[in-house]
Structure 1
Amino acid sequence: MVDWLTMTIQVASLAMAGWCLVSTFRDQPMVVPHLVGMGLLWLLVLGQVGATVVTVVGGDRPAETAMFVSYLATVALLPPACAVWGFMERSKWGPAVIAFACLILPVLFVRLEQLWNPVA
């Protein structure tokens, strides 16, 4: 896993969560700039997933490979799934769905890092 990319994803995800929470508290629906933000976040996530897949195919694997792959699939699918769900919800709760997903994403990356570099 690329450490600086993981940190960038976590910071961007938390910033996106804050932005969407402000929109939720202002009773604003999800708009196109929210989708653009989620798209950029998803591109960062896909970059990390791609780099990790290349590393795993190259032979460097975590001890719990099946668990690691399931977490990796979850982080790859979470942003687009929640962006679609948030955009379909035309009330103030659309941005809340995105904020929730963006608060979950950094936790998933912490768990991926724990699986990748287990403490001996």
Structure 2
Amino acid sequence: MTIQMAALGMAAWCLVSTFRNQPMVVPHLVGMAVLWLLVIGQAVVSVVAVVGGDRPEQTAMFVSYLATVVLLPPACAVWGFMERSKWGPAVIAFACLVLPVLMVRLEQLWNPVV
């Protein structure tokens, strides 16, 4: 839940920057770095659980979603930083809106409703 809230907060901040026609700045990168550290922490916990034998039914699907979650923040941060117009923060906002959806999907894969 912490990752989802941090991602939504980051998305709101970046959307405000987009609407103000401001380019992405270093504090945006710092925010993405913090979000990425949270995601990496979740990934480490998940990998330890999978290696320890506690696996979801669809392990391959879970691992693919986990890889996407880990790679999304840095990829979009680089893309957003390279885009020096107001659309740089928009790229980050989009990624930060997708991230909570991916996290919910990971939870669904780990704990399927029967």
TM-score between the two structures when normalised by the length of structure 2: 1.00
Partner of 1:3: none
Q: Is 1:115 aligned with 2:100?
A: no
| Matched pairs, number | 114
Q: How far is the alpha carbon of 1:37 from its aligned partner?
A: 0.1
1:76 to 70, 74, 78: 70
Partner of 1:21: 15
4+ runs deviating over 4 angstroms: none
Read off the aligned partner of 2:84 and give its amino acid letter: R
1:61-115: CA deviations, max 9, x gaps? 0000000000000000000000000000000000000000000000000000000
C-alpha distance in 2 between matches for 1:17 and 1:46: 19
Partner of 2:50: 56
Q: Secondary structure at the match of 2:53?
A: coil
Identity, % of aligned positions: 83
Q: How far is the alpha carbon of 1:11 from its aligned partner?
A: 0.1
